[in-house]
Amino acid sequence: MYIAHTIAELRDHLAAFKRPAFVPTMGNLHDGHLALVKQAKPLGDVTVASIFVNRLQFLPHEDFDTYPRTWDSDCEKLSAAGCDVLFAPDEKALYPEPQTCKVHPDPALADILEGHFRPGFFIGVCTVVMKLFTCVQPRVAVFGKKDYQQLMMIRHMVRQFALPIEIEGGETFRADDGLALSSRNGYLSKDERAEAVQLSKTLQAMAEAVRAGERDLAAIEARAMQTLAQRGWQPDYLVLRRRADLQAPAVGEPLVALAAARLGTTRLIDNLEIEAPSAL
């Protein structure tokens, strides 16, 4: 696996390829990341991953400085997964001067849900992804569905800027008990890890209510919020939205249940796509 630490090194190495397939990450890799790399591999003539902890998408009180950085393990895992090129710039290499030019995504999508609770988050995400795209110049990029709103945001950005990049979504990779894999799961204590599965179970309960024909979506959402709160969680949102744009759904539209909640000091997110009954 070739490792490039500068943009020039990366571009020189990729000059011989016509269809890079790209998986951007912030490191501290788990099986979910590696599944994205394996998904990307047959989609291009070279498979590229990046590791960069992007300061722009962290709020001042968030965990930028303590975000897990596991370089040696990450390199071993990427190589074993068949990654051909790792782009691992430091901040000076990717942001040689203050990044005053930023991508401001559509507020209708960027300022709801995650964007509401983490103001400016998607500006940071879209800016770094756009910059990584200009560095790698991929023809296909793979993003995990666990960050559902982020995936939609990247697809919207690519469409709006007419970028010649196909965006593929990778299914959420889960532990045996159903917990969505996340780099932040490592923050959980043993007891918190056992409790954390309740987030996916609550989403399943929301989905079951929809499939059973319950029409009062607000009541389903309120019940889910109460369920987690009574177990000691601090939920930010548990909502049912239409998949197309994460707005309130109309009759018969495919839905997605989305959740974000804090367990102790750890904030977890998850989602579940639902086929709504036509009578909804």
Burial class from Cβ neighbours inside 10 Å (0-12, 13-18, 19+) for residue 122 reads buried
Q: Is position 104 annotated as part of the catalytic site? A: no
Q: Are 207 and 264 in contact, with CB atoms under 8 Å apart?
A: no
Q: Are 55 and 91 in contact, with CB atoms under 8 Å apart?
A: yes
How many other β-carbons are positioned within 10 Å of the β-carbon of residue 115? 20
Q: What is the DSSP string of 75-136?
A: HHHHHHTT--EEE---HHHH-SS---S-----HHHHTSTHHHHSTTHHHHHHHHHHHHHHHH
Contacts (Cβ under 8 Å, ≥6 apart) of 114: 121, 122, 149, 150, 260, 269
Q: What is the number of alpha carbons within 13 Å of residue 223 lying toward its C-beta?
A: 17
The one catalytic residue in 5, 13, 33, 61 is 33
User: What is d(CA 261, CA 138) in angstroms, rounded to the nearest whole number?
Assistant: 34
User: What is d(CA 278, CA 260) in angstroms, rounded to the nearest whole number?
Assistant: 27
Q: Are 165 and 133 in contact, with CB atoms under 8 Å apart?
A: yes
| Catalytic residue IDs | 33
